[in-house]
Amino acid sequence: MGEFDLITRYFKRPATRSPLGVGDDCALLAPAAGMQLAVSSDMLVEGRHFLSTVEPARLGYKALAVNLSDLAACGAKPLAFTLALALPGVDEPWLEGFSRGLFALADAHGCELVGGDTTRGPLNICITVFGEVPAGAALLRSGARAGDDLWVSGSLGDARLALEVFRGTLSLPADAFAQARTRMEQPTPRVALGQALRGIATSAVDVSDGLIGDLGHILASSRVGATLDADATTALIAVDTTGLPAEALRTCALSGGDDYELVFTAPASACDAVLQAGVNSATRVTRIGRIEADAGLRIVDAGGAPVSQRFGSFDHFV
């Protein structure tokens, strides 16, 4: 099977929203009047972003999910994406599974594949996603203010728990592992919540490298500090962690990575509006701290005492 047959068989579908579908030199996009286009690119590499054992359908899902998560963090509505794919060879069952998982999530969000590239090479998946947001309404990292509450969506730490089980440093009962593995392989991008938070949240970021590291981007961009409740955060681990050491659980929840939840800030007066945005988007939201004028991040336990444990943030080059 040649390159163009491969594209036609697995990735070409009739264009709906875009003026032009897959197959010309460029795709054409026309955001509606008054809308800005939000754009994000993520590249996934085997052994770093996914394990070689992952089911192709779950990988196709995840490759798009991590990009949709960036749109969610901006409050943008997904529109379209391009897919560039380097493949070691033509593996039809793999392509069938990958494209099935990819399109299942794309269809759930009305996000259309409009173009891309395929080449032979070490497995590499690069998606660029496009969303639209009313001009000036995008959620940024730079809007947090002292006194704002600090919130996070959904659950935290489960993906890292699954990874540690794969690495053999922790063990979980089969049910809990299966649940954690699904969180690692099929994270839920918080697309509806992100849009519901427009006009309410003062800043937002998605948690890909770990809560502490990604929160750090908000603190740096907004030139503020924060106090974070470690116990409230660790309580957001979804799977049953009975018997696991408290320190490991804090590491997973606070700096685990691969969560694809939204961490965001909002004025204390907007608390009810945040809770309503959570209800409207069927997404749990939890208050885990407060923004303060003093620079730096202070991590405390439920009683307010400082937590001395040290945490890292995922960095591809450290």
Q: Of 77-136, which residues contact a copy of itself (CB under 8 A)?
A: 82-87, 89-90, 114-122, 124, 126, 128, 130-131, 133, 135
Task: Burial-class residue 271 by CB neighbours within 10 Å (0-12, 13-18, 19+).
Answer: middle
Least CB distance to a copy of itself at residue 244 (A): 29
Q: Which of residues 204-223 bind a copy of itself (CB under 8 A)?
A: 204-206, 221
Least CB distance to a copy of itself at residue 120 (A): 5
Q: Does 267 bind a copy of itself (CB under 8 A)?
A: no
Candidate segments 8-16, 104-112, 200-208, 232-240, binder of a copy of itself by CB under 8 A: 200-208
Q: Give the three-class secondary structure for 124.
A: strand
The CA distance from 249 to 243, in Å, is 10
Nearer to a copy of itself, 121 or 306 (CB): 121
Phi, psi angle pair for 84, to nearest 5°: -115, 130
Nearer to a copy of itself, 74 or 249 (CB): 74
- Binds a copy of itself by CB under 8 A, chosen from 11, 22, 42, 56: 42
Nearer to a copy of itself, 13 or 271 (CB): 13
β-bridge partners, 262: 206
Candidate segments 50-58, 67-75, 250-258, 303-311, binder of a copy of itself by CB under 8 A: 67-75
**What is the maximal distance between C-alpha atoms in the chain?**
63
Least CB distance to a copy of itself at residue 317 (A): 5
Nearer to a copy of itself, 131 or 187 (CB): 131
Tell me the residue length of the chain.
318
**252 HSE (CA, 13 A, CB side):** 29
Least CB distance to a copy of itself at residue 284 (A): 21
**188 HSE (CA, 13 A, CB side):** 16
Count of C-beta atoms within a 10 Å radius of residue 108: 14
Task: Burial-class residue 301 by CB neighbours within 10 Å (0-12, 13-18, 19+).
Answer: middle
Candidate segments 65-73, 99-107, 231-239, 287-295, binder of a copy of itself by CB under 8 A: 65-73
Count of C-beta atoms within a 10 Å radius of residue 39: 15
Of 148, 151, 208, nearest in space to 184 by CA: 208
- Binds a copy of itself by CB under 8 A, chosen from 71, 105, 152, 224: 71
The CA distance from 52 to 34, in Å, is 43
Least CB distance to a copy of itself at residue 230 (A): 24
- Binds a copy of itself by CB under 8 A, chosen from 17, 19, 110, 173: 19
